[in-house]
């Protein structure tokens, strides 16, 4: 007996032992032709890809989870390690290959492959290395899963989402960057910590670039339906603009701090992306701050740029962009953030 790369058991004549073992049951009850086979592929089995994969597995989201990486031994090791947890997880077929044909028919392809930051390096510094990688990754993904939603995580995520859109030829609603879904979670954690409430009760968005020029939408923050700024005023709790700026700075520095301490970030992005995958696969129509084609929204009209805005997501990808209230200053910062990304994009000449 030997194992295929996906780990299923083959007999000496290449007979699939699983098939013959269950023959009578399969004959008695053929699977319903209408049953949908849900499939997610994760490209890049590094720190981030594996955190996403393991969080997705715990959520019972898919029938099949596929891993793709360029390093065969590491890839097979990661696949086996996850398969060995089968007794504790919802049933999911886990496959892995360096060949993109394994991703065929995916509903959602999540791209995490690529270089990551070292110490104080900016995300934007990774651009040229990761653009070259995307030229190899996106075309086969689009070919094997022409109807999938592409969810980009590799950095700099906003520009790479634009590149993925161009390389895939997909409509813009099916190309999304994980964007500031993670920054907004860091923001909600810090606000919750300050007010001693549950982060899930904090509605707060960071928009714009996933990175140094991100914008905190203070004017629309609410906790349990109570607008935070007017709540603080009513309680006669003095707050300084500087204090708010400091919380935002903590959000921006969050990734740098974790990277300087443990070398990379993984758990929060794993939960953040699995949360997006859940909304998309279950067609939940929830609103997430993610990187979308922003041209035409909030006065952003200087070119085709992907930056994070609160967007409603579902099975078809982006269903709409919400009309959230912004002050003039917030709007100006958002436009400046879009300009930062556009200038970088223009240097690429794509
Ligand atoms: N958008 C976000 O919020 C976040 C983005 N990231 C980004 O995610 C990316 C991955 O980070 P880590 O997982 O920590 O890095 P890592 O170095 O642990 O993993 C990268 C993986 O990509 C693989 N890879 C390289 N070339 C490939 C190719 N042609 N095809 C398939 N796989 C290939 C490598 O073999 C490696 O396993 C980085 O760009 C990082 O900056 C990280 C955290 C948060
Ligand atoms: C690395 C990165 O982009 C983050 O953790 O926010």
What does the pLDDT profile of the chain (350 residues) look like in tens digits?
Answer: 444 445 555 555 666 665 666 555 555 555 555 668 999 999 999 999 999 999 999 999 999 999 999 999 999 999 999 999 999 999 999 999 999 999 999 999 999 999 888 888 888 888 889 999 999 999 999 999 999 999 999 999 999 999 999 999 999 999 999 999 999 999 999 999 988 999 999 999 999 999 999 999 999 999 999 898 877 777 666 666 777 889 999 999 999 999 999 999 999 999 999 999 999 999 999 999 999 999 999 989 888 999 999 999 999 999 999 999 999 999 999 999 999 999 999 888 77
- Ligand 2: centre distance to CA 273 (Å): 12
- Ligand 2: centre distance to CA 32 (Å): 42
Measured by CA distance, the residue closest to atom 19 of ligand 1 is 46
The answer to whether 254 is annotated as binding is: no
Alpha carbon distance 94, 6 (integer Å): 7
Ligand 2 nearest-atom number relative to CA 259:
1
Q: Active-site residue 325, yes or no?
A: no
Mutate which of 183, 255, 266 for ligand 2 pocket (most atoms within 8 A of beta carbon): 255
What are the backbone dihedrals phi and psi of residue 287, each rounded to the nearest 5 degrees, phi first? -100, 125
- Ligand 1: centre distance to CA 154 (Å): 6
* Closest ligand to the CA of 53: 1
What b/e string do you get for 245-270 counting C-beta neighbours within 10 Å, with b at 16 or more? eebbeebbebbbebbeeeeebbebbb
Q: Enter the DSSP assignment of 302.
A: S
What b/e string do you get for 102-121 counting C-beta neighbours within 10 Å, with b at 16 or more? bbeebbbbbbbbbbbbeeee
pTM exceeds cut of 0.90: yes
* Closest ligand to the CA of 272: 1
């Amino acid at each position: 007996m030997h194992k295929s790369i996906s780990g299923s058991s083959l007999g000496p004549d290449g007979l699939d032992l699983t098939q013959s073992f269950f023959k009578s049951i399969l004959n008695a009850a053929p699977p319903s032709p209408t049953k949908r086979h849900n499939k997610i592929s994760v490209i890049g089995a590094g720190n981030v890809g594996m955190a996403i994969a393991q969080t997705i597995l715990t959520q019972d989201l898919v029938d099949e989870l596929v891993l793709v990486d360029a390093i065969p031994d590491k890839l097979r090791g990661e696949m086996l390690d996850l398969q060995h947890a089968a007794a504790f997880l919802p049933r999911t077929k886990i496959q892995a290959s360096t060949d993109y044909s394994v991703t065929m028919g995916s509903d959602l392809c999540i791209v995490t492959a690529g270089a990551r930051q070292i110490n104080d390096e900016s995300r934007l510094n990774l651009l040229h290395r990761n653009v070259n990688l995307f030229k190899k990754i996106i075309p086969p993904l689009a070919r094997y899963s022409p109807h999938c939603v592409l969810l980009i995580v590799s950095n700099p995520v906003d520009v790479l989402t634009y590149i993925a859109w161009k390389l895939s030829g997909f409509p813009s609603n099916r190309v999304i960057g994980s964007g500031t879904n993670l920054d907004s979670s860091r923001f909600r954690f810090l606000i919750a910590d300050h007010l001693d409430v549950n982060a899930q009760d904090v509605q707060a968005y960071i928009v714009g670039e996933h990175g140094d020029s991100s914008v905190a939408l203070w004017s629309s923050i609410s906790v349990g339906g109570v607008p935070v700024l007017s709540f603080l005023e009513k309680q006669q709790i003095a707050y300084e603009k500087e204090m708010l700026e400091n919380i935002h700075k903590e959000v921006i520095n969050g990734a740098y701090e974790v990277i300087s301490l443990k070398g990379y970030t993984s758990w929060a992005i794993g939960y953040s992306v699995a949360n997006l995958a859940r909304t998309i696969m279950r067609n939940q129509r929830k609103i997430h701050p993610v990187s979308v084609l922003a041209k035409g929204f909030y006065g952003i009209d200087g070119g085709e740029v992907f930056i994070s805005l609160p967007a409603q997501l579902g099975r078809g990808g982006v269903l709409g962009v919400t009309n959230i209230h912004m002050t003039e200053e917030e709007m100006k910062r958002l436009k400046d953030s879009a300009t930062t990304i556009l200038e970088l994009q223009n240097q690429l000449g794509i």
